[in-house]
Structure 1
């Protein structure tokens, strides 16, 4: 069964890599503890984006992204992104409250089903901005 979902903005069906990117964006943008029935869903990025952009914060951001995207099962619920294996990250934190996060890794079309055949290498970048009441995560083209 191919990976399929609904575009959160348009309501149209999306498939494969597009659905995986939308899932990663949602994971990174959601603060841990925000979802009532899924308290461990999300990432720590919302607490880090407005910290001083020094080497400690950058390392914490790398760690938070890796932890958030790592596939795992907690109390019978799947978290993280099972269709993407993170291999590389880079970060541009030259502007306060704004970070460009580049990710590289391997995408598995049916990783959500436990099928890790047919890997394809993928890269993407996110623009992460502090809005004052949280963060926005935008996919960069």
Structure 2
């Protein structure tokens, strides 16, 4: 499975493709795509909320919920090549900047339903200027 890097226009494969996919899922508002209402996350709606313990809990819940949500049409997770093991808030400012470090398992052939090969993977989700900036390795 290969896609195009949104920044460079070059082919993107493997774990780099997974992180770009995760960034797309997290930065898309849930129910905003007409033919795919279950695609996306609650994060774009949460970024305007005041920083509080409740908001942090909502962020912690929104990330795995979006990535591991099963689509009714395909009966597959939004990103079947990645499963979150641990997520930790690594930076937070009063201006709404937040950084979450993610550890998980990367399944190179997970999109084919083959979970026999597994690798450790680490990435980061960054929220800045009231928007989801992205995730990367």
TM-score (norm 2): 0.89
Residue from 19, 22, 30 that aligns with 1:21:
19
Out of 91-100 and 23-32, give the one that drifted further: 91-100
Separation in 2 of the partners of 1:128 and 1:69? 16
Change (3 A) 1:53 1:124: same
Stretches of 4+ aligned residues off by more than 6 angstroms:
none
Superposed CA RMSD in Å reads 1.8
Separation in 2 of the partners of 1:140 and 1:76? 26
Listed as ranges, the matches of 1:73-88 within 5 Å are 73-76=71-74, 78-88=76-86
Aligned to 2:113: 114
Give the secondary structure class of the aligned counterpart of 1:69. Answer: helix
Aligned to 1:136: 132
How far the C-alpha of 1:10 sits from its partner, in A, is: 2.1
Out of 88-97 and 11-20, give the one that drifted further: 88-97
Separation in 1 of the partners of 2:48 and 2:42? 12
Separation in 2 of the partners of 1:86 and 1:17? 14
Provide structure 2 residue ranges, at least 5 long, that are not aligned to the other structure. none
Q: Is the 8 A contact 2:70 2:76 kept in 1?
A: yes
How far the C-alpha of 1:77 sits from its partner, in A, is: 6.4
TM-score (norm 1): 0.87
Aligned to 1:12: 10
State the number of aligned residues: 136
Separation in 2 of the partners of 1:97 and 1:127? 11
